[in-house]
């Protein structure tokens, strides 16, 4: 497993970051989750991403259990704050009160006295940004957080937060956007701003929620138990609607010979593509089975030549979402 520096800092994270995503009512057995976490450790992954909202604290608890026997200086733990996890009117958002209380609850669940990376999970329009950055800075000074980051913030929001952080002598060093070969919207504004500010990217949904694994086929029903199958009953995958079209799935299927020629599986090709993009420090991968973890982890260190990268662009071009780059 290779490691990269995160933003303009001395912190190195593993190229593959294991995302321990659990939905609020997730029924995945504890042992299945722990098996994937152990597979990640066995594959050399040292960086783990979770959030207080994932499984309403269950993800953090299980991650804490999995890492309990590991040397603390050998792993990097990232968690997040924003979504409702507390009670009463101050149980969500990025107010000083919620940020402080949410972190302390996360530390208890994780079984550690600090987190390496603390992420503002979304932007809070109801709290002054000065209050939020100041609250995060206090946690850094208290030694309970080492570095700061954001997820799904706009370029202007990131730039202003970075300015405030600099004034308070703390480091905003990463952004966590949705980013894949099918979803390239961060390239329009977020990546250029972050590059100029020394902020690195840790993208999530790098396999486009499973679409880039090739398990969804055109003119075929989604596999039973998959996120795409949940879409059919209006469940957790409702936002996958635009990805589950025959046009998109046919294009993804055309990547299979490209992957084969590169000596990779389709998921490995998708992960490698993300790792070859500018400003990317690590790619978040998730899995429901240990063998998926091991397969995806093998993408670390893979070298894709310019011709292969161009072929991926050519195949997927008509179905890529580029945000402000469209048209």
Active site (catalytic) residues: 54
Phi, psi dihedral angles at 259 (to 5 degrees): -65, -45
Cα distance between residue 107 and residue 103, in whole Å: 6
Q: Which two tokens stand for residue 187?
A: 């390239």
Backbone angles phi, psi at 321, to 5 degrees: -95, 120
CB neighbours (10 Å) of residue 167?
12
Closest CA to 150 of 174, 186, 167: 174
Pairing, β 16-19 against β 283-285: parallel
**Token pair of 5, please?**
């520096």
Q: Where are the alpha helices (DSSP H) in the chain?
A: 30-42, 58-67, 96-110, 129-141, 155-167, 190-197, 227-231, 246-253, 256-261, 266-275, 290-297, 306-316
Terminal alpha carbon distance of the chain: 38
- Pinpoint the alpha helices (H) of 168-265: 190-197, 227-231, 246-253, 256-261
Q: With contact defined as beta carbons under 8 Å apart, do 177 and 152 qualify?
A: yes
Map tokens 């890529």 to a residue: 320
């Amino acid at each position: 497993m290779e490691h990269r520096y995160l933003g303009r800092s001395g912190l190195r994270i593993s190229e593959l970051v294991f995302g321990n995503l659990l939905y609020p009512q997730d029924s995945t057995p504890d042992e299945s989750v722990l098996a994937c976490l152990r597979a990640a450790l066995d594959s050399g992954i040292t960086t783990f991403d979770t959030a207080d909202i994932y499984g309403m604290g269950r993800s953090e608890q299980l991650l804490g259990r999995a890492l309990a026997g590991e040397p603390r200086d050998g792993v990097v733990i990232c968690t997040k704050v924003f979504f409702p996890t507390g009670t009463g009117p101050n149980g969500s958002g990025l107010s000083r009160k919620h940020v402080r209380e949410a972190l302390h609850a996360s530390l208890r669940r994780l079984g550690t006295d600090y987190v390496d990376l603390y992420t503002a999970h979304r932007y809070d329009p109801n709290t002054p940004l000065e209050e939020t950055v100041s609250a995060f800075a206090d946690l850094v000074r208290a030694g309970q957080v080492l570095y700061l980051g954001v997820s799904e913030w706009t370029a202007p929001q990131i730039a202003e937060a970075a300015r405030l952080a600099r004034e308070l002598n703390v480091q905003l060093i990463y952004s966590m956007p949705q980013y894949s070969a099918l979803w390239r919207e961060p390239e329009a504004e977020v990546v250029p701003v972050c590059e100029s500010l020394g902020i690195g990217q840790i993208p999530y949904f790098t396999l486009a929620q499973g679409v880039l694994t090739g398990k969804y086929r055109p003119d075929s029903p989604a596999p039973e138990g998959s996120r795409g199958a949940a879409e059919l009953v209006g469940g957790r995958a409702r936002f996958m609607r635009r990805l589950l079209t025959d046009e998109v799935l046919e294009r993804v299927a055309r990547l299979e010979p490209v992957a084969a020629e590169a000596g990779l599986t389709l998921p490995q090709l998708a992960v490698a593509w993300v790792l070859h993009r500018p400003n990317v420090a690590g790619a978040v991968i998730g899995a429901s089975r240990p063998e998926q973890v091991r397969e995806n982890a093998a993408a670390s260190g893979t070298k894709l030549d310019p011709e292969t990268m161009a072929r991926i662009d050519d195949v997927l071009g008509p179905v890529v979402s580029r945000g402000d780059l469209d048209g």
